[in-house]
Amino acid sequence: MSLLNDLLKNNKQWAEDILKEDPEFFTHLAEQQSPEYLWIGCSDSRVPANQLLGLMPGDVFVHRNIANLVIHTDLNCMSVIKYAVDVLKVKHIIVTGHYDCGGIRAAMEKQSFELIDGWLRNIKDVYVNHRHEFLESMTDKQKLDHLTELNIIEQVKNVCHTTCVQNAWLKGQDLTVHGLIYSVKNGRLKDLQVNFDNIDSINDLYHIN
């Protein structure tokens, strides 16, 4: 219980500090949220969306899972995207992976993690589909980093392939999908320069009409 008491004490202090800056902060926020960003990131405790973007509560809608995967049969992730795009009308969907990701490392190992195996298999698919890019001369770290980057790009495309995002583009909604990578070693984000903002930028096999 003492641990929980510490957390509640922290929370009380945090809320009081915010009210000192802006006495109406929570009153305004309680009325509605209108974030411009949907963040799809890793569950890793070192990669918290709001803190590393310098954003306040209300600024970013967040979905996190192991290794920031966007899987079309994942009702949780699909529902988050649908709500963010259709209801909140976010302008940016940011898929953010990070170096030193335990999920990526686990996917490169030949061992079972039981329930998590099916999840990690999606990352193995990315590796196998790009296996020609993993050269003998690369160190294990270089291979991990490369797979981490490829995985982000793959998930960015998965976001774009959803019916929801394509419908938004067809309706003329202002929406861009981005891929970023975060370094837990220095706290910095890097833009992977994979930005999609229209249906023509994705392979037409995925087009919904």
Chain positions contacting Zn ion, by CB under 5 A: 42, 44, 101, 103
Residues 93, 159: contact at Cβ < 8 Å?
Answer: yes
Minimum CB separation from Zn ion for residue 53, in Å? 17
Minimum CB separation from Zn ion for residue 121, in Å? 16
Minimum CB separation from Zn ion for residue 66, in Å? 7
Of 119 and 169, which has the nearer Cβ to Zn ion?
119
Distance of CA 81 to the CA centre of its chain: 11
Of 83 and 99, which has the nearer Cβ to Zn ion?
99
Residues 196, 176: contact at Cβ < 8 Å?
Answer: yes
Of 66 and 168, which has the nearer Cβ to Zn ion?
66
* Paired tokens of 149: 């980057």
Of 44 and 149, which has the nearer Cβ to Zn ion?
44
- Bridge partners for 37 per DSSP: 60, 92
Catalytic residues, by residue number, are 42, 44, 46, 98, 101
- Residue type at 76 in one-letter notation: N
Residues 52, 182: contact at Cβ < 8 Å?
Answer: yes
Integer Cα distance of 196 and 199 in angstroms: 8
Distance of CA 42 to the CA centre of its chain: 6
Residues 77, 71: contact at Cβ < 8 Å?
Answer: yes
Minimum CB separation from Zn ion for residue 191, in Å? 19
